[in-house]
Amino acid sequence: QSALTQPASVSGSPGQSITISCTGTSGDVGAYNYVSWYQQHPGKAPKLMIYEVSNRPSGVSSRFSGSKSGNTASLTISGLQAEDEADYYCTSYTLSGSPFYVFGAGTKVTVL
């Protein structure tokens, strides 16, 4: 059982905006602004999309944004495009002993 809760799937039409939630506890997501989001296409290595809740690495589209409220972090994809169809994982540092980092189970984003 994953420590962070994500919806199994989210879908949207091209051009729309979608939001993926990531719910943890006061011991992980709620403790620090140390939430990251990864995108993974089938058969590929994950790609960092957001770190420290809302920072985008160089080269990541501004259509991707992150936020956090309490124990829930969110990833928003605006102007949805076909290439955004992938699995998305949130991860957080945790104060709760081991593990050091915890992942969500992942969300499959489908572009209709």
Pick between residue 15 and residue 40 the one whose CB is nearest to other proteins: 40
Give the one residue of 80, 104, 109, 111 binding other proteins; rule: CB under 8 A: 104
User: How far is the CA of 45 from the CAs of 11, 62, 87, in angstroms?
Assistant: 22, 21, 11
Give the one residue of 14, 70, 79, 99 binding other proteins; rule: CB under 8 A: 99
The CB-of-78 to other proteins minimum distance in angstroms stands at: 22
As beta bridge partners, residue 104 has 4
The answer to whether 19 and 11 are in contact (CB under 8 A) is no
Q: Give me the helices (H) in 1-112, please.
A: none
| Nearby residues of 86 by Cβ (< 8 Å), 6 or more positions away | 39, 40, 41, 109
Distance CA 24, CA 33 (A): 12
Tell me: does residue 78 bind other proteins (CB under 8 A).
Answer: no
Binding mask 24-63 toward other proteins (x if CB under 8 A, else -) reads --------xxxxx-x-x----xxxx--xx----x------
| Binding residues for other proteins (CB under 8 A) | 2, 32-36, 38, 40, 45-48, 51-52, 57, 87, 89, 91-93, 98-106
